[in-house]
Amino acid sequence: MLLGGDRPARAFGAFPAACPPGMPADIACWRGEDDNGAHLLLARPANWNGRLMVHIHGGPRMARPGPHTSDEDLLRDVEMLQHGWAFAATSRRAGGFGVLRAAEDTENARRAAVAVFGQPRLTILRGQSWGGNVGARAVEAMNAPGPDGRRPYDGALLTAAVLTGPTRAYDMRVDLRAAFQAVCGTLPARGEPAYAVTLGQARGHRLTREQVIARYLACTGADKAPEQRSPAQRRALSDLAAASRIPEAAIPIHLWWATQVFADIAWNITGGRSAFGNDGVQYRGTSDDAAFNARVPRISPDPEARALLAADGDPTGRITVPVLTLHGIGDLTVFVEHQAAYRETVARAGMAERLVQVFVDEDNHTRLSPVLYPAALDALVAWIERGEKPTPAALQMRCLGLQWVYPGDCRIVPDYVPQPWEARVNPRGGSGTITARR
């Protein structure tokens, strides 16, 4: 039962507005800004079931947010609205990293939705990719019951989520930047200001994505057929993949993210200190391991910088509500082994009964088969409202039952168990995890 109908939205600055082009005609939208200047996008279908999904986008996006930042997220979640759910999202007040800041902006979007729609009967927090990191922290740190005894979020759906925590999630990118400097020597290039590669870029310098990828292609010839590459280029590409343990096809995007995200963390969060390191790593599988390990740059993480990053983004596992995760087994952007790390974190906190993980035989990071999402929401509702904790096999049956309504396959692998995180990345040795006080 809803507590009221449409509420005056003026207090939250959200007003009826046009939906993104391509949305079904029976979905109504609202746009506006919160008190911090973050842009809000709310949507509600004509057949609203009284439930709200609050979306957290991936990234972190570095571009300055604008009024239409969340449009692509709404379009991507159209099956959930067709399934009867209302939608709320924020552009965030600023681009860049900052997990808890993003969680605060997300909470403002939820409050705006309540002001416009009335109190939903159930609210799910949905985090995608890096937004899954934000969602995991939000249900730990920002989900205390209010005066009425209700929590802001009744459950969470985390999809393709970064759940290892930022102090470990970027280990392979640390190794890639170090390997790139050892092999290619152009980040930074000769004549540019020197900096530790874990700082991403020199202070005040901003290489574009095109410039970074151009340096990668010049070194590896990856844009050419293998037979057209020089021996040095073939060796460089092979050494980068071996040292970072990132498949060749995924190296360019990880190299770019390592550059821009590391720079944002270093110069906007940790005061120019490195939160990452590789001082204990022994690289194997290169063309000459001894020579490679002798020349690769070595960085020790600054303890205070690492603790700052841990306090902001590392999950504690102290989840307060049911959490369901979906992850593609072949995801090359956020490796499926993130789920193993998260399972260990939640188990250590004594909250394992509140976590269900489901794995899908797909490799798309941005979007799995559309039918999986309404099936997952139905499973969460049954868990929250009726105590029916889902299993991967049960979710598979729900998915199959919805295929006549929504497109896509139900390629859930019920018995899949991911390897430990440490089996997917190079062991850190002396760069161990710093646990921050909370």
Among 411, 419, 416, 417, which Cα is nearest to 395's? 411
Residues 61 and 153 in one domain: yes
Of 286, 310, 334, which marks where a domain is finished? 310
Residues 59 and 195 in one domain: no
The structural domain count of the chain equals 2
Measured CA distances, 329 to 338, 361, 419 (Å) = 11, 6, 11
- Give a yes or no: residue 79 inside a domain: yes
Residues 180 and 82 in one domain: no
Is the domain of 175 the same as that of 301?
Answer: yes
pLDDT at 63: 79
CATH code of the domain covering residue 39: 3.40.50.1820
Tell me the longest C-alpha to C-alpha distance in the chain. Answer: 70
Residue carrying structure tokens 């005894």: 149
Is residue 320 located within the same domain as residue 350?
yes
105 pLDDT above the threshold of 50: yes
Locate 242 and state its tokens: 């071996």
Could you tell me the pLDDT band of residue 62, with boundaries at 50, 70 and 90? Answer: confident
Domain assignment present for residue 438? The answer is: no
Give the residue from 261, 287, 310 where a domain finishes: 310
Q: Is residue 433 part of a domain?
A: no
435 inside domain: no
Structural domain includes residue 5: no
Among residues 310, 345, 365, which one ends one of the domains?
310
pLDDT band at 12 (very low <50, low <70, confident <90, very high): low
pLDDT (tens digit, 9 = 90+) per residue, 130-166? 999 999 999 999 999 989 889 999 999 999 999 999 9
pLDDT digits (tens, 9 = 90+) for 344-355: 999 999 999 999
- Containing domain of residue 376, as a range? 10-165+316-424
* For the chain, percent of residues with pLDDT exceeding 70: 95
Tokens coding 243:
């040292």
Q: What is the mean pLDDT of residues 361-374?
A: 95
> Tens digit of pLDDT for each residue in 255-295?
999 999 999 999 999 999 999 999 989 999 999 999 999 99
**Cβ atoms of 328 and 336 closer than 8 Å:** yes
Confidence band, pLDDT 50/70/90 cuts, at residue 429:
low
Give the integer Cα–Cα distance in Å for 253 and 365: 13
Q: Note the pLDDT tens digit of each residue in 297-340.
A: 999 999 999 999 999 999 999 999 999 999 999 999 999 999 99
Do 287 and 325 share a domain, yes or no? no
